Chain A
Amino acid sequence: MTLVAEPEAPARAPHPLRAEAVRGFAPAAGAAVLLTTGVLLAGSSARWQGAWAETATEVHGSLLIAVPLAAAAGCWQGGRERRRRTEELWGTVVRAPLARFLASALPVAAWVALGHLLAAGLALLATWPYARGDRPHLAQLPGDAVALAAAALLGHVVGRAVPARLAAPLLAMAGYVGLGIATAGHAGALLQLNPSYRVLAEVRPLWWQPAAMAVWTGGLALAAVLGYAARRRGTALLPLTAAVAAGVLLVQSGDGLWRPDPLARRQVCDPSTTPAVCVNARYAGMLPQVTEALSGVTEKLRGVRGLPVRWEDRAGRPHPDEAALPAITPLGWSAVRGRLTDPRQFAWEAVAGLGLRGDCAEKWPTGRVLLADDAVEHYLAPLPARQHFDGIQAQGDAGDRAELRERRAARARLAGMGERQRRDWLSAYFAARGRCDVKGVPAL
């Protein structure tokens, strides 16, 4: 037992970084990036929700607005001491200028990166219930986060150096326009050096591209910070050299930075129908509903000869014995959130693909062929708006009305054939169309 109470240890002051990170402007900057990216992603959800590759592309593309916003946020934070009129006071403290700079700049950089990562996480969660294949593409997220943090640091340097009220909004606007021009450009070194450059969903970056991009953006920012605030400004040369080396590597690699997604070249097929139905492996889970949408067509084509082997769904032209499946991507048109938007329209487009397939140098179809095409289309999968178009034609001149009567008669003749007769007629029709033999198309 002791009679002397031990003195209480003095309470340790929280680290300046912690105070800056949890209070003040830094969390608000992160929230601004989260909110802005959220508005962008919510407004364009039909374009990406339901496919992992499209989600990654859209999240990466959001850097076009997030990077200028991060730079403006950093610029705003950089002008803080001038607004508070505490610059002279800071000049009297023992901490080095670099430490003072980082204490106020790093939290904003970290928060804007965190805001972007949160937005990306929410986008991935939103895609999860609707994804029909593939798996999350996360390769570019670290590089994107570094680019945002780098933009915030560069903006901070600008905010310290430029004493103007309009510095932050001008920096945001200039960054947005500059990145937009660089993104819209179709060639040149700017494409590879642009951290917000978005490629097609069917393309993936090489494994080292995000790392090189991170060194490029992070090195530039670090060089600017050291050049502005370090006691030995020559140290800025080290990150600058790394950034230039990464930039040269990116520019030299050119289009070689990207490779086609191996999954996009694969298909999954349902061979139980004729023709077989194949969809791209990127959204393999859509096969049942695509098969269902085409079931009315495949049912009517049972036993018909001369058909393509399958509806295919991959980049490039179909092989001679294949027909192109209507485009499911880009999302937002035929398919939204893992569902076909209009199965009847999809079936009609699939039938159109059956008749005009392969490398057939189509000769000008005669009236007889057009009649046959129209009757086949109407029998297998009529255009949803066909009634509307027929109504317009019915109000036309005598020639239009006569042509419509002729087409309706041809449709009725095909529909009125016996099962076996129609199967033989369709076999002859598809065989002739497959051979590009206009004269061989049977009359109706």
Chain B
Amino acid sequence: MTGLVLYARSRALPAALAALAATAVFAVWAAGRLDAYLDPDRRVPIVALAPLLASAVIGTSLYAPSDELDRTAVRPWWPRRLAQLLALAALASVLLAPAVLGHPEVFGPPAVIRNTLGCTGVTAAAAAVLGARLSWLPAFGYVTAVYLASSGARGRAATVWAWPMQPGVQPGAWAAALIAFVLGAALYAVRGARAEGPRG
């Protein structure tokens, strides 16, 4: 087996890919039941929650089973970590976008891609700080809280703090999501997932 395949197996990437595919199928199925042809705002649950679930799947795959052994390696790990994260985020974006085709100016593919990147960034940062197994927690808490809090929120600040709930063309929301993604990806690439010892 090549090093790449060994790396993928050690991170349980086949299971993560299967879970991402299942998430995409579920998102397409759920979007079809929302009857959102005339009112794209009905897609908000899909736009907010499908990327959240995908990011949870990505987060759990950031787990390093032999962290101490990895640290003894001669080659740097950050390119592999970064490539893994970027590949999974790109794949999740591509898989989830078909669930909300059309209406790109409101809740269409751009909003899903933005939320996938933002949630993945938050999850990657959480993996570096809390550990991969618990990396889903901050993104879940934030997105679900913002989902309920942002109805009726107005003003420029709301487009930033409520970025998961904004239409696809909102620049403030894109800026917030991209910053989260860049910071999270950089933190994870540099530090890796927090080691989970026997007390984890």
Contact = CB atoms under 8 A, between A and B. Distances in A.
Nearest to A331: B152
A118 B113 CA distance: 36
B53 A176 contact: no
A172 B53 CA distance: 10
Given A69-B140, A173-B52, A173-B140, A166 B145 contact: no
Given A43-B150, A84-B199, A165 B60 contact: yes
A399 B151 CA distance: 41
Contacts of B149: 39-44
Nearest to A172: B140
Given A76-B134, A172-B140, A37 B145 contact: yes
Contacts of B136: 168-169, 172
A267 B162 CA distance: 37
A36 B141 contact: yes
A312 to B, nearest CB: 26
B57 A166 contact: yes
B49 A173 contact: yes
Interface string B31-69: 000000000000001000100110011011001000000
B3 interface: no
Given A76-B134, A166-B19, A332 B142 contact: no
B150 A169 contact: no
Contacts of A62: 148
Interface string A53-94: 000000001101100110010001000000111000000000
A166 B144 contact: no
A442 interface: no
Contacts of A83: 133, 196, 200
A46 B152 contact: yes
Contacts of A44: 148-153
A47 interface: yes
Contacts of A169: 53, 56, 59-60, 136, 140
28 contacts: A32-B141, A36-B141, A37-B145, A39-B141, A39-B142, A39-B149, A40-B145, A43-B145, A43-B146, A43-B153, A43-B161, A43-B162, A44-B148, A44-B151, A44-B153, A61-B148, A65-B144, A72-B137, A165-B133, A169-B53, A169-B136, A169-B140, A172-B136, A173-B49, A173-B140, A176-B49, A177-B45, A180-B45
Interface of A: 32, 35-37, 39-44, 46-47, 61-62, 64-65, 68-69, 72, 76, 83-85, 165-166, 168-170, 172-173, 176-177, 180, 332-333
